[in-house]
Structure 1
Amino acid sequence: MADYILEEKDSFTVLGIGTELKSNYTDYAGINKEKADFWSSVKEDGRLDTLRGLAANDYIFAVNEAVNNKMMHYAGVMTEASLPEATRVIQFPKGEYLVVKGEAKTAEELSNTLTGIAFGQVLPEAKHIAYVGGPNTTVEMGERNGFIYGELWIPVVRK
């Protein structure tokens, strides 16, 4: 099984600018393209830099959340501030989180790799925990030796 830890986290808030993902939830190639296009857009038009200016730390959050039966994806930062262009204030609950750590050459590769490990290996094989919904996020934490490193945080419950 892939390396992971379970970690207790306090509740936290991420301010996000988002997009609805239109691909079928099993169409990973389509979803990944939509996410890549979205990230390219928020970087190019300055929205990500605006969010970064409000951040409580240097972390960049790539959040996935089902809202009103829509699959949403957000670029966000941890902050208590607000912003007119923000799409959503995303509340992460206090509780236990599955944490998968890794590094990759790009933020997109990091997110895709960690998501694949968590949802493709850890959660199907872990008999003592379950993901029951709610927002989950890849957290881009920094760079070292030419690689972006970070974690995937998924709220879980004990079975």
Structure 2
Amino acid sequence: MADYTIEEKDSFIVLGIGTELKSDYRDYAGINKEKADFWQAVTEDGRLDALKALATNDYIFAVNEAVNNKMMHYAGVMTEETLPETTRVIQFPKGPYLVVKGEAKTSEELSQTLTGIAFGQALGEATDYAYVGGPNTTVEMGQLDGNVYGEMWIPVVKK
């Protein structure tokens, strides 16, 4: 049984730099490699640091969203500001969210673990709620005892 909660959240905006994921949506290894390569690139070229400088908090968002029939993945932060190199302002709706909390040794491992639990177990167990699309995100919230901790937020609707 997955450990999750349903939490009410206000609407919020994430400013993101994104990439289109080309792997088939069932090719988890391919998707994870594309995401890892993307995060390495935005970290090394300074784009992530530029985003973090505008953030209203210390959270780093890894957002997944279908846009114009394309599977998109974004590195983002909560902010009211913009940067020329950003590719999307992502609006998250007010309402209930399925939330899975966890920690891991790396950001990449945290994202993969939380995504696997949320989509592989928790959504199926949350029988009163359904995910009907829209952006979902892994939120890296900080570090504790050498591990990265955070949450997966998936907007849901009551059935």
What interval of TM-score do these two structures reach, taking the shorter chain for normalisation?
A: over 0.9
Shift of residue 54, structure 1, vs aligned partner: 0.2
Which residue is 2:54 aligned to? Answer: 54
Shift of residue 51, structure 1, vs aligned partner: 0.1
5+ residue gaps, structure 1, are none
5+ residue gaps, structure 2, are none
Aligned identity (percent) is 81
Which residue is 2:70 aligned to? Answer: 70
Which residue is 2:38 aligned to? Answer: 38
Shift of residue 156, structure 1, vs aligned partner: 0.2
Q: Does 1:129 align with 2:129?
A: yes
Aligned residues: 159
Cα distance in 2 between the residues matched to 1:15 and 1:126: 29
Shift of residue 126, structure 1, vs aligned partner: 2.1
Question: Would you identify which runs of 4 or more consecutive aligned residues in structure 1 move more than 2 Å?
Answer: none
Q: Does 1:4 align with 2:4?
A: yes
Cα distance in 2 between the residues matched to 1:127 and 1:57: 33
Which residue is 1:110 aligned to? Answer: 110
Cα distance in 2 between the residues matched to 1:127 and 1:60: 29
- Per the alignment, in what secondary structure is the counterpart of residue 114 of structure 1? helix
Q: Does 1:86 align with 2:86?
A: yes
120-129 vs 61-70, greater mean Cα deviation: 120-129
Cα distance in 1 between the residues matched to 2:122 and 2:10: 23
Cα distance in 2 between the residues matched to 1:92 and 1:126: 20
TM-score, reference length from structure 2? 0.99
Cα distance in 2 between the residues matched to 1:85 and 1:126: 38
Q: Does 1:28 align with 2:58?
A: no
Cα distance in 1 between the residues matched to 2:86 and 2:8: 28
Structure 2 counterpart of 1:153, one-letter code: W
Cα distance in 1 between the residues matched to 2:47 and 2:127: 40
Shift of residue 115, structure 1, vs aligned partner: 0.4
Which residue is 1:154 aligned to? Answer: 154
- Per the alignment, in what secondary structure is the counterpart of residue 39 of structure 1? helix
Shift of residue 124, structure 1, vs aligned partner: 1.7
TM-score, reference length from structure 1? 0.99
Once the two structures are superposed, what CA deviation does each residue of 1:113-140 show, in whole Å capped at 9, x if it has no partner? Answer: 0000000001122211100000000000
